[in-house]
Structure 1
Amino acid sequence: MTEADWPRVWPFFDEIVQAGETYAYPLDLTSEQARELWTMRPPGQTVVMGEVGEVLGSATMGPNRPGRGSHVGTASFMVSPAARGRGVGRALGEYVVQWHRDAGFDAIQFNAVVETNTVAVRLWQSLGFSIIGTVPRAYESRTHGRVGLHVMHLDLGEPR
């Protein structure tokens, strides 16, 4: 993702956060604050997927924890509501898995997948992720009230 991409990411980032179903970000973020939260610095990476003049989705990825936990990666994804059902999430997910493999990570851990976000849960499971635990009532869904957050994991093979 380049600086020039952010103005095309911000509208759907804000729409998704305001919807209150998938991300626990504060509702009053400015564009600049949101960009700081979303953009991963090296050794991580933030990417966009798009068509001519349009950003369809974005993913951010890198180490889940610093130091002694940095061999396990993590990622977050947002797909523009206008682009849903077009394979954007799957393409970003496949990219993220391969990026982590190429970078030598041992595994990927998603720390907080909202259990009512069934489209995302099914997608990650289809890419090989397992639910290894659920924190009960850890997310305040605008529609469903307090729901669980899944911790999801993908083993990428032998340790480096």
Structure 2
Amino acid sequence: MTEADWPRVWPFWREIVEAGETYAYPLDLTSEQARALWTMAPPGQTVVLEDDGEVLGSATMGPNRPGRGAHVGTASFMVSAKARGRGVGRRLGEFVVAWHREQGFRAIQFNAVVETNHAAVALWQSLGFRVVGTVPEAFDSREHGLVGLLVMHLDLMA
């Protein structure tokens, strides 16, 4: 993702956060605050998937924890509402898994997949992730109330 991409990511980033179903970011963030939270500095990176000049989605990836936890990666994904159902999430997910392998990570851990985000859970499971735990009532979904956050894991050494 380049500096020029953020203004094309920000509208769907804000829309997804404000929907209150998948991310626990504060609702009152400015564009610059949101960009600082979303973009990953090296050794991580943030990417966009675009088609014909339109940004369809974005992913951020890198170490899940610093220091002695840096051998396990993590990632986050957002897909524009206009691009849903077109395989954008899968393409971003496949890219993220390949990137983590190329960078020598031993695993990928998703710390907080909202359990009612059925499309994301199914996608990650189809890419080999498994649920290793649930934090009960850890997310306040606008539609469903208090729901669990799944911790998902992919062993890259298997």
TM-score by length of 2: 0.99
Residue of structure 2 in register with 1:128 after alignment:
128
Question: Partner letter of residue 58 of structure 1?
Answer: S
Q: How many residues align?
A: 158
Rounded to whole Å, the distance in 2 between the matches of 1:8 and 1:80 is 10
Pairing of 1:107-122 with structure 2 (within 5 A): 107-122=107-122
SS of 1:90's equivalent in the other structure is helix
Pairing of 1:33-44 with structure 2 (within 5 A): 33-44=33-44
Q: Quote how far apart the aligned CAs of 1:52 are.
A: 1.8
Residue of structure 2 in register with 1:27 after alignment:
27
Residue of structure 1 in register with 2:61 after alignment:
61
SS of 2:50's equivalent in the other structure is strand
TM-score by length of 1: 0.98
Pairing of 1:1-160 with structure 2 (within 5 A): 1-157=1-157
Rounded to whole Å, the distance in 2 between the matches of 1:31 and 1:82 is 20
SS of 1:137's equivalent in the other structure is strand
SS of 1:100's equivalent in the other structure is helix
SS of 1:46's equivalent in the other structure is strand
Rounded to whole Å, the distance in 2 between the matches of 1:140 and 1:51 is 34
Rounded to whole Å, the distance in 2 between the matches of 1:67 and 1:138 is 26
**Structure 2, unpaired ranges of 5+:** none
Question: What CA RMSD, in Å, does the superposition of the two structures yield over aligned residues?
Answer: 0.6
Rounded to whole Å, the distance in 1 between the matches of 2:52 and 2:118 is 30
- Percent of matched pairs sharing the same residue: 80
Q: Quote how far apart the aligned CAs of 1:10 are.
A: 0.1
Point out 4+ residue stretches in structure 1 off by more than 2 angstroms: none
SS of 1:150's equivalent in the other structure is strand
Q: Quote how far apart the aligned CAs of 1:53 are.
A: 2.1
Rounded to whole Å, the distance in 2 between the matches of 1:57 and 1:48 is 6
Rounded to whole Å, the distance in 2 between the matches of 1:52 and 1:34 is 25
SS of 1:62's equivalent in the other structure is strand
Q: Quote how far apart the aligned CAs of 1:95 are.
A: 0.1
